[in-house]
Copies of this chain bind each other. A is one copy, B any other.
Amino acid sequence: MPLHGQNLLGGERSAGRPTWKAWAPAQGKEVEPPFVDAGLAEADRAMELAAAAFPAYRRHPRIPDFLEAIGKEIVNLGNDLLERASLETALPIDRLTGERARTVNQLNMFAALVREGSWVDARIDRAIPDRKPLPKPDLRRMRVAIGPVVVFGASNFPLAFSVAGGDTASALAAGCPVVVKANKAHPGTSELVGEAIRKAAADTGMPAGVFSLIQGGNRELGARLVKHPAAKAVGFTGSLAGGKALFDAAAARPEPIPVYAEMGSVNPLFLLPGALAERGEAIAEGLKGSVTMGQGQFCTKPGVVLAADGPGLPAFTAKLNALMGAQPGGTLLHKGIHSSYEAGTKEVGALAKAAAKGVDPAPTQVRAAVFETDAATFLKEKRLREEVFGPMTLVVKCGSLDDLLKAARAMEGNLTATLHGTSKDLADFAPLVSLLETKVGRLVFNGFPTGVEVCPSMTHGGPWPATSDAHFTSVGTAAIERWARPLSWQNFPQEALPAELKNENARNIWRLVDGQLSKDSLK
């Protein structure tokens, strides 16, 4: 289907002159059609429309229908969507097919969460009029939508963390209108998905301003959205520099607002001696898969491997280096990531030994890489503890538990840490496990951190700089909590309470009634 190249402002296309084109990284050239650069006026208009839609949308009974309709419209886009996304990202159709399924599943998961209803964390404490010294009032509380949300689409998940991705789905589920600033690396994909949302909104009777899509622009445009008085929260997945800029802009507002930025991570992988001795080569195979999957362009890619030196290590490194040395060149998502990867591997290469390089790549491609260093150098050189986005990893030889503890302590917050070990390793290295619990959002045992399961138990978040607020996750049902806040009603009559808090539990949700969880209706 033809692309129009324009912004979507609350159900309408904005008039604007298209001036720039998407880049096809595998072809190394621009592709049709041209897109508009949104101006500050469009940013303001999108926020005003979102604010206007909020009262009607925040408790709209058809939110689950809307979310499911978005998923259906995305599927209806068929191969047009997959092909455009592949063109703009160089990601293969198979991967994008899987990502589309995940995107639709996420929308359906949030629809089911809202339909079931217990996510609002309803609490009821009934009055005790004759309590001494003072009567106890009737108090009832539940989560309510926070207000219009600005979402910045990620480049590395053009479907699952972009226009209708996890941030948008969870914010819409919470009852928040969403203004998406499209990632400039995939404007056509963004438009197609934006149109799917627009159609779903119209078909399910949503207020027009519930969704807008802003194309193009620069940092000033992004800051304008974040600083608009109507914006009440921000979702972002991308680089530390980008996330930090939004965080600072939001904190400097007259009314500061939260920014939920997922800014990546080095995801240390600890190889303990028992596991290395038992299955060093198998770990190397799994690690190679995790480092090179999607050309290493996952927030959870293991970028640092802290390996206990010992008899099992040489076989592991030999296998890893052989596999990575045979890895064909790959095309990265866009020119910015390509040049960052080239610069990053050069910086790491100046501080650590190049242990393996993938096969010579085509001009538009990069090569995989493994570097090696020792614990002392790793502790000394901050750059070695920072993320390089792409298909590389750094193996750090650690001589002792103490080396591993020091390395773990020196690392900043991470989304994940992974341990490969035997039961005996886990016991012997218990202080390391305990330390890691204070540094990351997810601990993985004898597996790999890539492949983020979308479910209630997932934490995709972690201490700074992994994310800007470790209280929350951007993947899984709990992601909705970012966009809602508690509100209490004191001594309100039944007819003026939301359905979730009336005595009759018509929605059949779990509620904490006088301190006890129950689904009972009250008298």
A118-140 interface code vs B (CB 8 A; 1 in, 0 out): 10000111000000011011011
A255→B263 CA distance, assembly (Å): 13
How far is it, in angstroms, between the C-alpha of A257 and the C-alpha of B464 when the chains are bound?
8
Closest CB in chain B relative to A344 CB, distance in Å: 20
How far, in angstroms, from A489 to B463 measured CA to CA in the complex? 16
- Determine if A248 is an interface residue (Cβ-Cβ < 8 Å): yes
Nearest-neighbour CB distance to chain B for A490, whole angstroms, equals 4
Interface string of A401-445 (1 = CB under 8 A from B): 000000000001100000000010010000001110110111111
| Docked-complex contact A488 and B438, CB < 8 angstroms | no
CB distance from A307 to the nearest CB of B (A): 20
Flag if B464 contacts A486 (CB, 8 Å).
no
User: In A241-260, which residues have CB < 8 Å from any B CB?
Assistant: 247-248, 251, 255-258
A471 within 8 A of B: yes
Q: Are B455 and A139 in contact (CB under 8 A)?
A: yes
Query: Whole-angstrom distance from the CB of A131 to the nearest CB of chain B?
Result: 10
Q: Which residues of B contact A139 (CB under 8 A)?
A: 453, 455, 457-458
Interface status of A446 (Cβ within 8 A of chain B): yes
CA distance A486 to B54 in the complex (A): 29
Max chain B CB contacts within 10 Å: which of A58, A124, A137, A510? A137
Contact between A471 and B496, CB atoms less than 8 A apart:
no
Say whether A7 faces chain B, with CB atoms less than 8 Å apart. Answer: no
Given the interface pairs A140-B457, A455-B139, A512-B456, the reply to whether A486 lies near B123 with Cβ below 8 Å is no
**Minimum distance in angstroms from A430 CB to a CB of chain B:** 8
Q: Which of B255, B442, B458, B471 contacts A464 (CB 8 A)?
A: B255
Nearest opposing residue in chain B for A127, CB measure: B453
Instruction: Looking at the assembled complex, report how far the CB atom of A337 sits from the nearest CB atom of chain B, in whole angstroms.
Output: 25
A504 to chain B, nearest CB (A): 18
Residues from chain B with a CB closer than 8 A to the CB of A461 are 485-486
Evaluate contact between A488 and B447: CB separation under 8 angstroms.
Answer: no
Contacts A434-B55, A487-B442 given; indicate if A457 touches B517 (C-beta within 8 A).
no
User: Is the pair B125, A456 in contact by a Cβ cutoff of 8 Å?
Assistant: yes
In contact, B258 and A251 (Cβ under 8 angstroms): no
A residues with a Cβ closer than 8 A to B are 54-55, 58, 98, 118, 123-125, 133-134, 136-137, 139-141, 144, 146-147, 232, 247-248, 251, 255-258, 412-413, 423, 426, 433-435, 437-438, 440-447, 451, 453, 455-459, 461, 463-465, 468-473, 478, 481, 484-493, 495-496, 510, 512, 515, 517
6 A-B pairs closest in CB distance: A139-B457, A251-B251, A459-B488, A141-B457, A442-B488, A123-B457
Beyond A118-B517, A442-B490, 19 extra complex contacts between A and B, CB < 8 Å: A54-B438, A136-B455, A139-B457, A141-B459, A146-B470, A258-B469, A433-B496, A441-B487, A441-B488, A442-B489, A443-B490, A445-B489, A446-B491, A456-B512, A459-B487, A461-B485, A461-B486, A471-B485, A472-B486
